[in-house]
Amino acid sequence: MSQSKLYIIEMKLINNVFNRVQVTIERLCVVCIQALAEMDCWQEVLPMVLNVYESVEKCPVTVIQLW
């Protein structure tokens, strides 16, 4: 197998892992928002989201829709 094919396979694998990590972070963030909502701690949602995503612009739609 040529090096270029190996490189392409490696990049696809890295991209796949990166996408899974992003999905996991998004799901955990959703759970945290739900937990904060249940505790009536809405004032803590934005700081938590900013801690995870650094800015609202980087936040996935599913997270923004919850709050």
For residue 1, is pLDDT > 80?
Answer: no
Which phi and psi angles does 55 have, rounded to 5°?
-160, 160
Q: Quick count: other Cβ atoms within 10 Å of Cβ 49?
A: 21
Q: What residues contact residue 50 under an 8 Å CB cut-off, 6+ apart? A: 56
pTM, two decimals, is 0.80
For residue 12, is pLDDT > 80?
Answer: yes
For residue 13, is pLDDT > 90?
Answer: yes
